[in-house]
Amino acid sequence: MSTVTPPAARVEQHGIEPIPAPERTSRPRDLFRLSFGGANTFATVVLGSFPIIFGLSFRDALLATVLGLVAGALVLAPMAVFGPTNGTNNAVSSSAHLGVHGRIVGSFLSLLTAFAFFSISVWSSGDALVGGANRLVGLPNNVFTLSAAYAVFAILILTVCIYGYRFMLWVNKIAVVAASALFLLGIVAFAGAFDPSYAGIFGPGADAETAALYWPSFIGAALIVMSNPVSFGAFLGDWSRYIPAETPKIRILGAAFLAQMATLVPFLFGLVTATIIAIQAPAFLEGSDYVGGLLEIAPAWYFLPVCLIALIGGMSTGTTALYGTGLDFSSVFPRFSRIQATIFIGIVAIIFIFVGRFAFNIVQSISTFAVLIITCTAPWMIIMMVGFVTRRGWYDSDSLQVFNRRQVGGRYWFNNGWNWRAMGVWGVSALTGLMFVNLPDQFVGPLGNLAAGVDLSIPVSIGLAALLYPLVLALFPEPADAYGPEGPRFVRAAAPKNTPITSEDAAAEPVTAA
């Protein structure tokens, strides 16, 4: 079969319908570029500073970072296989497990996650750009220059997202190399000031009260790092759907996993520079002003690279977040095309960025909100993975599109469009995870202090979903027609329902599958 790769500068016309086989010309390395590029930014650098802010030594902070990153990458990687399998995004694929109507859970979660991370990206990159320009050429750092920076970022990002996948991929091909080179240039900038023996606050001289906070700080730091790769779970299908279905799954899994491991570059940049700030300018970390601290310790010649990292990184993260937002909104409201949905959500997000930053100053609150959303997204991801295994990776493309076509019925209709098994497990797991959240001064759940202050929200939500969903499938089998011709794996099936696909008009005749 011949393939056709549309030009990068052509506006993408596809919504969430399956990508035609001739246009699925991407490769796993393209998935790597988009996943890595979306995280190779200042937003990730700021997350990399948290282990030091929590008081860990450099050695322990590095260990927490690596553990969190590996765990998050392992949880994330399987979410990349749905796109090539079904040719659509992960929210639509979730219809097979949560039901035709239950799929709105995935759309809603990805919408909120993308909204939060788009905002964080614009804020962090705008602050770094204006701060660097202030030190470099004396540009005033005030509400007007910050507003201009936010506006420029938002408009550039929105433009790239309107053009769509191919243009976004082209931008990231450049951004991955450029941002990585600028981060690595930091070795020259900060090598002389870096002290790997930095002991943090939990050294031999720590009092008993301080020492008791060590494990909560270590685990909390690891979970913050872990949340970064997990946050991409709802979006991988947006990009991997352009990969041919026959591509070996191991290559797709490897690309998704290695992309997150490559983010050690920005994580280590944040970790190393935060260590220097903690020694030379600790007041900045105490005030949660990492960017200000970075500019304080950076040599004058590195101000320009800081500005470039902010510009390039902000574009990468913002486009990967907002593209998925527009795509999902168009899937929930099919009357909107992908372009219309992207413009609408982009305008709303831009308004939110300015109101949230200047009217209510909710920058820290939106970061907390992102953690809460990820706690709810993680069990949804686990349900998808368990479902993929029990379905033997087989899906009915026509039944997946029932919601988008405003139809009813099909293999995934279950109980009036809801699969109460998956919905129930997701609800219990997400709610229980939220009860274990422990974000001091922001949000502490009813059970947040049960483990001596350790935030167990994500492990609890993931663990419960992994335990409960197979158990529920064993006790309450799904209809046989939800599975492929080979039947289920590891679980048994109930009698088939064979619900025909019809239009929403109850009087309509059954729709013949294409």
Q: Which residues contact 86 (CB under 8 A, 6 or more apart)?
A: 18, 92, 93, 237, 241, 395, 397, 400
Rounded-to-integer distance, Cα 426 and Cα 296, Å: 45
Tell how far CA 3 is from the center of its chain. 30
Confidence at residue 116, expressed as pLDDT on a 0 to 100 scale: 76
Bridge partners (DSSP) listed for residue 479: 494
Rounded-to-integer distance, Cα 163 and Cα 3, Å: 20
Helix axes 143-163 and 338-354, enclosed angle (nearest 10):
170
Bridge partners (DSSP) listed for residue 408: 502
Low-confidence ranges of the chain (pLDDT < 50): 507-514
359 DSSP assignment: I
* Backbone torsion region of residue 498, taken as left when φ is above 0, otherwise alpha when ψ lies between -120 and 50, otherwise beta: left
User: What are the DSSP E strand ranges found in 429-488?
Assistant: 438-439, 443-444
Confidence at residue 513, expressed as pLDDT on a 0 to 100 scale: 39
Confidence at residue 510, expressed as pLDDT on a 0 to 100 scale: 46
Bridge partners (DSSP) listed for residue 250: none
Rounded-to-integer distance, Cα 498 and Cα 495, Å: 9
Looking at this protein, which amino acid is placed at residue 281? Answer: A
Burial 246-278 (b: 16+ CB within 10 A, else e): ebeeebbbbbbbbbbebbbbbbbbbbbbbbbbb
Looking at this protein, which amino acid is placed at residue 203? Answer: G
pLDDT tens, 452-465? 777 889 999 999 99
The continuous run of DSSP H or E covering 214 comes out as helix 214-230
Lookup: tokens for 273: 């520079």
The continuous run of DSSP H or E covering 38 comes out as helix 28-39
What pTM did the predictor assign? 0.88
